[in-house]
Amino acid sequence: MAKKDFPELHTQKISHLRQREIQASVAACLIKRFEKTLGKEKAIKEATAAIALDSKKAGSIIAKNYGGNTIFELGRLMREIWSDDNALTVDVLEETTQKFCFNVTRCKYVEMYEKMGIRDLGFCLSCSRDAAFIEGFNPKMKLSRTQTIMEGATHCDFRISLEEK
């Protein structure tokens, strides 16, 4: 099938939340299958490692496609892509050239995994991507996060800093 045959399939924009939903149904099936041979802990550990590698690569690609890899572009990305479809409710605490600190107070990703019956895999499928993505986006950026809604906290505390190397 060529693009010219079905152009509408190649121009439709789907939200980041919807992309994660599509990926999650396949990934969860694979993880559950691998649990039978590897055990749950090892299957999740391996899936998390594979997802982190993919996420780091995605961060690098998106930085190139987004026109830069500064805190400014990361903020745009959070607002325009990750929060699309009202996926996140975010309180920005600090946004400078060196720091981007915000709390996520509502996360539809958690709600989606809950509805799919795979909330126990949500951290592996989504939250574990964040630090690797940021590293791929800009190797000088570091994410510090001590809690997530996915793990039962009231909010996710994202603290991203640009460090000199």
- Kindly report the CATH number assigned to the domain that includes residue 151: 3.30.1380.20
Q: Is residue 1 part of a domain?
A: no
pTM of the model: 0.87
Q: Is residue 7 part of a domain?
A: no
Q: Which residues contact 84 (CB under 8 A, 6 or more apart)?
A: 15, 16, 17
Q: Is residue 2 part of a domain?
A: no
CA dihedral 61, 123, 86, 22 (to 10 degrees): 70
Q: What is the pLDDT of residue 2?
A: 47
Q: Is residue 144 part of a domain?
A: yes
Q: Is residue 38 part of a domain?
A: yes
For residue 29, report the phi and psi dihedrals to the nearest 5 degrees: -60, -45
pLDDT at residue 124 greater than cutoff 90? yes
Q: For residue 165, what pLDDT band results from cuts at 50, 70 and 90?
A: low
Say if CB 164 and CB 140 are below 8 A apart. Answer: yes
Q: Is residue 143 part of a domain?
A: yes
Q: Look at the chain and report how many structural domains it folds into.
A: 1
In the chain, where does DSSP find H-type helix? 7-11, 16-38, 40-65, 71-77, 108-116, 119-122, 129-137
Q: Is residue 8 part of a domain?
A: no
Q: Is residue 88 part of a domain?
A: yes
Quote the tokens at residue 59. 């961060």
pLDDT at residue 10 greater than cutoff 50? no
The structure tokens 């694979």 sit at 30
pLDDT at residue 6 greater than cutoff 50? no
In 106-150, where does DSSP find H-type helix? 108-116, 119-122, 129-137
Per the structure, the complete domain to which residue 149 belongs is given by 16-162
The span from the CA of 2 to the CA of 91, in Å, is 43
